[in-house]
Amino acid sequence: MHTEIDINIDNVMSKLIKPAGYKALLDLWQTEQGIKLIKDFFQQNLSTELRLRRVTAPLFVLKGLGINDDLNGVERAVTFPIKDLGDKQAEVVHSLAKWKRLTLAEYGIEPGYGIYTDMNAIRADEELDNLHSLYVDQWDWEMTISQADRNLEFLKKVVRRIYSTMLRTEFLTCETYPQLKPFLPSEIHFVHSEELLQMYPGMTAKEREDEICKKYGAVFIMGIGGKLSDGKKHDGRSPDYDDWTTPNSDGFLGLNGDILIWYPVLEHSIELSSMGIRVDKEALLKQLKIEGQEQRENLYFHKKLLDGTLPLSIGGGIGQSRLCMVMLQKAHVGEIQASIWPEEQRRECQENGMNLI
């Protein structure tokens, strides 16, 4: 008879992908060198491509200001009391989606320029598998834009610039380690989540992502956060950063999306970045109403957005460990970063050639 702990372990193990005959192409020391190579090169190129200045970011913020990212609205933030603030609660960030926009205003960043930073987070509710860890590290970036930039064409231009940076990083990595062979396509394909639903009816959102990525190799799926024609969301988005309700020139709703690739090592699609044009006042009020979150209008961040203090912007996050995992052709994110894993998963990984740090 299964105990509750046994059942939880079984659930964790059922999510683990174990590629047949997998063998890491780089040893531990080469892997560490490769991680540094990729991180140094990618962030410098991203900075140049999008005209971003590096800033220092917080690991935690005060609870109750509306600054922390709410992700899908159900994940619990790691919290702790601050003695010298009368035990006020601080939250470890989930991401810096809203903090970055406050920073653009504080630094007076002009349109066409932006910021990037190293974001480190702890997501205690994450379901642990090949791609998901308790520890999240990503490049969070945000760019000030003008009203004229709030359109689908500008969004696609920025996506192509980010993807070209990924291609250059892949080229450098494969030149440095010839045992690695490039697999990313030269172009990224664009599709709206509603189009994807019509193309693959009867499939789950994840199955649709796998199908489209298998077909094109690299895809930007747009319009994530709102309900589709089947009454379901492709994926969840907090209502107060990405704009997923403004009509775009393709006749669909949404000015945001995810960059995904087909990853041959795992034979699955992998999301490398979530990004989008951010809400303006109109979109914020609309999305808060849709989600029944009108009470957020009284929070610190939301008041500043509604009173016009914050600039219009576009931004997103790019997974650091996940990008390194893909570039170094590893089968588990734990081969890239140090984290905590169920002992049974760690043992299974070891038996299948995945040496977790």
The catalytically annotated residue of 43, 193, 238, 274 is 274
Active site residue 129: no
pLDDT digits (tens, 9 = 90+) for 122-168: 888 889 999 999 999 999 999 999 999 999 999 999 999 999 999 99
The catalytically annotated residue of 47, 70, 95, 123 is 123
Q: How far apart are CA 183 and CA 261, in angstroms?
A: 10
CB atoms within 10 A of CB 58: 15
pLDDT digits (tens, 9 = 90+) for 57-87: 999 988 888 787 665 556 788 899 999 999 9
CB atoms within 10 A of CB 342: 14
Q: Compute the mean pLDDT over every residue in the chain, rounded to the nearest whole number.
A: 92
Active site residue 146: no
Active site residue 69: yes
pLDDT digits (tens, 9 = 90+) for 88-134: 999 988 879 889 999 999 999 999 999 999 999 888 888 999 999 99
The catalytically annotated residue of 170, 210, 258, 291 is 258
The catalytically annotated residue of 271, 297, 344, 348 is 271
Instruction: Return the amino acid letter for 292.
Output: G
φ, ψ of residue 261 to 5 degrees: the values are -130, 160
Helix (H) or strand (E) holding 55: none
22 Cβ contact partners less than 8 Å away, ≥ 6 residues apart:
265, 331, 352, 353, 354
Q: Specify the pTM.
A: 0.92
